[in-house]
Amino acid sequence: MSLELNDIILHSLVMGDEGQLICHTREQELPITNNVVGLVEELQTSYQSKAGKGFGYFTKDEEKATAFPEQLTQYLAGDLSFVEMSKSSAHLLANEISKYDFAEEGVFLLAKYSWVASDYLLLILLANKETVSVTDELDVSPSRHLDLSKAQLAARIDITQWQQDPDSNRYISYIKGRVGRKVADFFLDFMGCEPGLDAKVQNQGLMQAVDEYCQQQALPPEEKQEYRETVFNHCSEQLSQGEDVAIKTLSEALPSNAEGSFYDFVSEDYQLEDSFPVDRSTIRKLTKYVGSGGGLSISFDQKHLGERVMYDPETDTLTIQGTPPNLREQLKGS
């Protein structure tokens, strides 16, 4: 399903000669052309595929609140233009960045669009990358382009969810900062966003519930694996469609017995939300064994354990029968 783009604008944040961050703002929205729509669709797809996103909401703490939510409200009500709202946002972001010891330059993009029956506002700080290009005359010329693949400072507001459920703790999603850096902090601070739902914890709770439900039912290994694969496939499908996994809907896709459904089992002892975003890195452990450390990374389908892959806990040794062809060629050539 393609998105419907309503508004889009770019502003620039650059370091001045004296080391201060300068905000250059655009006075008009970008015209909505096929190229511009294609750009937003690419950013939306890239953002949707990012793993480990955080979720939050606009703070109710007056000391942490900013002007951003009110200005966004005014824009949605038609009392403030998209251009003015975006310019104010750019200056708020520049002020927050200036409080830190590092400089984050780039192009600040704001886009309001509709996708999968919801309205969104996407905010991304994109880096300008220096490169060279070949002209029609076959000359080499320096050029700059937006590095879309490395957008690490981004947030998306589900406007529809915010308006329909203002007490929700998850209508803002954002890319978490890289390990050891707090670059995501100022992006949340300028919006006045508080961390809310922990999607990773919810997904881990779901995995635990699946394992314990299978254990309660005394399922043989083959049926347990099929059960886990069904859960994985359902969650993967929801993720691909940009939808949350709903426990009740998931339960309907799973076999039940006289003692009750998976939904009944979860409702008794597990503190899971009725629905929550899928965390890809967590759910893949439903069907795979994954681990890395000490320069070694291993991943294989769980169904292979005891067949192609043998584990000896006494010696802490894995024995693999039948290596992948590409790995085999590398080993032979070493």
Q: pLDDT (tens digit, 9 = 90+) per residue, 239-256? A: 888 788 999 999 998 887
100 burial type by CB count under 10 A (0-12 exposed, 13-18 middle, 19+ buried)? middle
CB 172 within 8 A of CB 58: yes
Q: What is the pLDDT of residue 181?
A: 46
Would you state the torsion angle of the CA atoms of residues 229, 231, 236, 242, taken in this order, to the nearest 10 degrees?
170
Phi-psi region of 283 (alpha: psi -120 to 50; beta: other; left: phi over 0): alpha
Kindly report the number of other CB atoms within 10 A of residue 163's CB atom: 12
CA–CA dist 326, 172 (Å, integer): 42
Would you state the torsion angle of the CA atoms of residues 124, 179, 50, 105, taken in this order, to the nearest 10 degrees?
20
Q: What is the pLDDT of residue 145?
A: 54
> Regarding predicted confidence, which is higher, 317 or 289?
317
Residue 260 predicted with pLDDT over 60 = yes
Q: What is the pLDDT of residue 169?
A: 93
Residue 141 predicted with pLDDT over 80 = no
Q: What is the pLDDT of residue 143?
A: 58
CB 248 within 8 A of CB 274: yes
